[in-house]
Structure 1
Amino acid sequence: MSTLSASRLEITKSTSARKCPPVNELVFGKTFTNHMLTVPWNIESGWGTPKIEAYHPLSLDPSAVVFHYAPCLFEGLKAYRDPKGEIRLFRPDKNMERMNASAHRLALPQFDGDELIKLIKKLLEIDQEWVPSEPGYSLYIRPTLIGTQASLGISQSTEALLFVILSPVGPYYSSVVKPVALEANPDRVRAWPGGSGSSKLGANYAPCILPQMESASKGYQQNLWLYGEEHWLTEVGAMNLFIVLRNDDGLEVVTPPLNGMILPGVTRDSLLSLLRDHVAGKNSLPLPKNIKVSEREIKMGEIVDAANAGRLVEAFGSGTAAVVSPVDRIGYKGSDIKVPVTESGFGEVAEALLNKLKSIQWGHEEHPWSVPISS
């Protein structure tokens, strides 16, 4: 069967004269560039011809399995314009790795990640004028893979479509950072052992909307997802979770382990690497060296005890959109747990990590994670 190959790419340029609107008018996920990438697949012949064409609606049969059984997965990454005007990607290999893992979970076709990166780079080259040059702005990239077989039978989809669309986006934070309040409700569960929480599936996100709305009605911006009778912490909203504790021998930065319920976030992995390199003396962050970096289980009882003892230092989420999102309170069992933040709105650890990662992403410092599309 044919494999995914960038060498077979066909390009039909759009005749649209649309240009990127002024950056102050951008709303996340509402504006799209002039072109998109599509690659069909079927079980008999494999991957078809990759095509870059004008952005257009998809035409699918009403019985397409994606509408009925949700074989749908996606990724999210960004393109950044560095101070020299060059366009860069941030660790795209990690997104391809996770996308293939999600495809395996849904019995959808896997592909050569390097070839898809080549195709994405070509798409970015064609729509490069849509990559903002203003500080903090970027171009969001959404690769998506769906099952398209026209059938109401529940089985592996014999047809699929891979497509990539691009959307210019603004900075997650304006001039004022507003830490979020979380509701930790044990009755709401995002993922469970043996489930699909570690895959980036569309079906993992829609069921989270109603609980978030219910939390918002009580004054909380997001959910802190718990699991089990011990109320183990898993994720925050659609982000990975970090907790900073003060112990007798220094700070401990804790994030739940990749136990099958946790999405292996690219930002999560990057923050852990930066912290471990800092402790080992391989880079310099404005933080003390006596930091323990832990991927371990942590339950709400430990958070309550740490807060009561004055050892809860900070909490934050991590993800592509915000990089880090600080937390200032957690609602749990009818009362609020206060989480310290500084005058900037962040905790010390979160702010140091945010500044370091942004410097790498926007090419202000050379780093192997920052990949020019010309390479």
Structure 2
Amino acid sequence: MGLLTIGAFAKASRLSPKALRLYDELGLLVPARVDPVTGYRLYAPAQLERARLVAWLRRLGMPLARIRHVCALDAGPAAEEIRAFWAQVEADTAARRELAAFLLTHLSWKEPAMPLGIRYAALSETGLVREHNQDTAYAGDRLLAVADGYGRQGATASAAAVDALKRLETDGIPAGGLLNVLQDAMEEAERAVRGVGQAGSPGGSPAGDAGTTLTAMLWTGSQLALVHIGDSRAYLLRDGGLFRITHDHTLVQSMVDEGRLTPAEAASHPERSLLVRALGEGADTTADLRLHDARRADRYLLCSDGLSAVVPDDEIRRVLSGGGAPEQTVRAFVALANGSGGPDNVSCVVADVVEVPG
């Protein structure tokens, strides 16, 4: 078979002539020959496979620069690159889904018939192995927070992140402004953590000296707004069922999401604590936002991985369901973590949603 005109090649490859001209200009799909007199582009039949790959990758929404990279790879590495791209697309879609859910819940909110409030307690201890406690746990009338610091200035970083959110205890929230308030508070927390790292590094240059996870909930009177980054966790006990309402931002969790690891394999993976999102220099600082309508008798747990990594979910559910006051419950969780060897700092916050007498 001889060379194909651009029209014939466009039909065979399912790419428009306009797209083919663009891909030629970008060096992505160069014609086999250009007629020196007419300037017509002519393509070899052997180029159809590459052209069809380009067409399919464009349908996936892959940027042209990345398509060029994929087309330069052998089949195996190209497949891995496509898998990685699609995992990122799904992660981005999930993040937008969470944001959409947040906005829908926020905009459709209605005043509850019975005023609600929270009763709470927080506790943070070093554990049995670590020399220092880099966690911070806080519980107040409106703010619940757990942060797990890392690096040489980890303790200061976790405290700075939580302190940056404490203004939410007293600041009013303008109508329709909850999302903006939370974004502003997280940006302030990020700046505070970076400031800690820069102050603790020689010459003020950041060197990974400070970083932290942050999982916090803001009580609005009938709802709890969640902000989350890292691998600290938030759980909800409702009607006897335990629900984890955060998603770990770790390397192994991303591998589970991509189907490359099972949850059981992730639990014992040597890099299970490697974060892909956190507050700190050089990290992806994109936080998850969610909004939860509170119900009477709901019970929330926020904890660092010093608890969740060593205490299984069924034990967490058992303790939360035990009926003890928040103060008793946080002590029970710390005792459980230490009873499992206490390999890490352990911090937790427990909050009960209760009716407030009128």
TM-score computed with the length of structure 1 as normaliser: 0.25
Larger Cα Rg: Structure 1 or Structure 2? Answer: 2
Task: From the two aligned structures, give the one with the greater helix fraction.
Answer: 2
